[in-house]
Structures are given as C-alpha cells and as structure tokens.
Amino acid sequence: MSIIASTGIVHTVSSIFQPVFHFFGWLLASFYQLVPNYVFAIAALTIVIMLVLTPLTIKQTKSMLAMQRLQPQMKKLQAEFKGPENRQALNEAMMKLYKEEGANPLSGCLPMIVQGPFLMVLYNVIKGLAATVTVPGRNGPTLVGAPRYIPTSSKMFHDLQSHVGQIKSFGVDLSLKPFSHHGSVIEAVPFFAFVAFAVFLQWFQMAQINRRSVKAGQPMPKQQLMMQRIMPVMFAYFYIVIPAAVVLYMIISTLVRIATQDILFRTGISNPNHERNKKEASAPLAAVVEADKPSTLNQKKEHPRSKAKRERKDR
C-alpha cells in the first residue's frame, strides 16, 4: 500500500514539473540548433541558469565573508553569555551582531538549496534525451531512440533519435556514468576524469573564500574547515551516480561561481558593508554641497514697496 502511495506521489510531482521539463528541453534544443554539439548546448543552458542565480551567489559570498570576519566577536559573546540560562540573551546578541554587520548564517546554503530543483529538472531532461523504446518488427523487436521533452521538429530530436539513446559529443556518450558498461577501461577514463575535475572545482571554490580570509588575518571557523574537507567527498559520490551530462553542468556552474567570486573580491562588492561604506563616503560631499546652497529659510521676504523703491533707485 505504501509503495503504491509513494509511486502516486512521484507521478504527481513529475506531472507538475512536466512544463518545466519541456521548457528546459526547448532551451537545450534551441542552443543545439545554433551549434550542433551537446556540450555547447548544456554549457549555454548552464550559463543561463547561473545568470539567474548570480544574485544568490553574491549574497552567499558576502555572508560567508561576514561570518568569518565576525568570529572573534562571536567568541567574545559566547564567553560573556555562558551557561544555558543565558542562551536567549546570547541568541539576541548574536542576531543583533548579524544585523549590524549584514551577515546571515543561513544564506551560505541558499544557493545550493535553490540549485537543487535545477539539478532535478536537468537530470530528468538528460535522462529523457537518452530515452529509447522497443518496437515490434518482422525480424523481432527493435530498439529505437525516443527523446522526451524536446520539440520533435528540432535538429536535436532527429540526431538523438538516430543515435538510439546516446548523447555523444567528442566521442563520449554523456548519458553514461563512470561505472556504466563501457567497451574498455580506456573508454571509462573520461568519466572518472570528469568526476575528479568536478570535485577539485568544488574544493577550489571553498578554498578561494578561505584563502581570502587568511590573507585578511581572519580566523577560519572550524565548521567551515570541516565543510571544505567533507563536502568534496559527498559531491564525489553524487557525481559518480549521475550522468556525465549533469556532471558537465556542475563543472560549468562551479567555474561560473569561481569567476563571479573572483570579480566580487577584486571589485570589493563582496564586502557586506560595501553599500553602507559608499553612502558614508558620499555623505561628507553631500553635506558640503548642501552648505554651499543659499538658505531659503533664513532669507527674509522683501516688502513689495521696498522692492519698488530699490528698483527706482537702480534706474
């Protein structure tokens, strides 16, 4: 009974997301129409998704740097409000500190949470591209390509149909995984290389933020150091069990985040107080300009008779 119920839930969720699957499929087919290469189509789609998520990436970077910078102050508060009886006072002091410094301990996870639905949709679309069906024939059943979620009139649809369940690009079938059935060990090497490169990029992205904190002389939170060691291992397992096309999405999205963070660091936008500092810097100049303006409040209104007398004198 529970199996039937869970199957019904999965079917319902899948039905709700069908329009989204078809939209992403249409985007992929459109990019493929420009350049008939699956790597290009997936890369172009990834860049579009990352452009949408860029504001969250900026927010995540600001928050992580702010949390690192606040470590000494947080330790002082923890020492000041010791014991369970001061737990509420500690939480209030922490929240006040976060608000003043523009930090949010939860926003660091927000981009990964938001990116989850994109991964789910892309996984289903990639799986749909490699779909096949068995049709009866005179010489027995025949396996034919039956791509899902992309327009049937598109070039991508016809190419996938002719390749019967394969998403081949540069000689690699992107629908396969590292431990899928490969013709030889050499054919499996690109898939393991994909996973290794993706894991390295995940580590490098986290190390990029940590190195900046070290250069600024800020202590590294133990939790963040632990995440830098554990997260790549978790991602390694995830990359092994998904198709290479989805791993390609993760590689490109991580490269975009690394580039975005580098730009934020170089321009100073990653500083949580960047906007506040700009306002404070412009405040003295605005005060000087305002001081130079003639004050209309302190000016006395001239009586009409006095004005007429002054005008006759001027003539």
| Rounded alpha-carbon distances, angstroms, from residue 74 to 70, 83, 143, 215, 259 | 6, 15, 63, 20, 30
- Range with the lowest mean pLDDT among 12-21, 168-177, 184-193? 12-21
Q: pLDDT tens for residues 125-177?
A: 988 998 888 888 777 788 888 899 999 999 999 999 988 888 999 889 999 99
pTM of the predicted protein model:
0.70
Q: What is the mean pLDDT of residues 226-252?
A: 86
Q: Is residue 123 part of a domain?
A: yes
Amino acid 102: pLDDT: 67
**3-state secondary structure (DSSP) of residue 131:** coil
Amino acid 17: pLDDT: 79
Please, are residues 60 and 103 in contact by the beta-carbon 8 Å criterion? no
Number of Cβ within 10 Å of residue 110's Cβ equals 16
Q: Is residue 266 part of a domain?
A: yes
Q: What is the mean pLDDT of residues 269-276?
A: 53
Amino acid 295: pLDDT: 47
| Rounded alpha-carbon distances, angstroms, from residue 129 to 99, 163, 185, 251, 274 | 47, 11, 25, 20, 45
Confidence band (pLDDT; 50, 70, 90) for 222?
low
Q: Is residue 177 part of a domain?
A: yes
Q: Is residue 53 part of a domain?
A: yes
Q: Is residue 170 part of a domain?
A: yes
Q: Is residue 299 part of a domain?
A: no
Percent of the chain with pLDDT over 70: 72
pLDDT at 281 exceeding the cut of 80: no
Q: Which domain holds residue 252?
A: 14-271
In the predicted model, what is the mean pLDDT of the chain? 77
Percent of the chain with pLDDT over 90: 24
Contacts of 150 (CB under 8 A, 6+ apart): 25, 26, 28, 29, 128, 129, 156, 157, 160
Residue of 246, 250, 240 lying closest to 192 (CA atoms): 240
Query: How far apart (Å, rounded) are the C-alpha atoms in residues 158 and 33?
Result: 11
Amino acid 98: pLDDT: 78
Q: Is residue 72 part of a domain?
A: yes
Residue whose entry in the numeric block shows the structure tokens 């605005």: 286
Number of domains, the chain: 1
Please, are residues 253 and 239 in contact by the beta-carbon 8 Å criterion? no
pLDDT at 260 exceeding the cut of 70: yes
Confidence band (pLDDT; 50, 70, 90) for 221?
low
Which range has the top average pLDDT, 131-135, 274-278, 288-292? 131-135
Amino acid 220: pLDDT: 60
Q: What is the mean pLDDT of residues 53-76?
A: 77
Q: Is residue 124 part of a domain?
A: yes
Amino acid 235: pLDDT: 84
The total number of residues written for the chain in this structure: 315
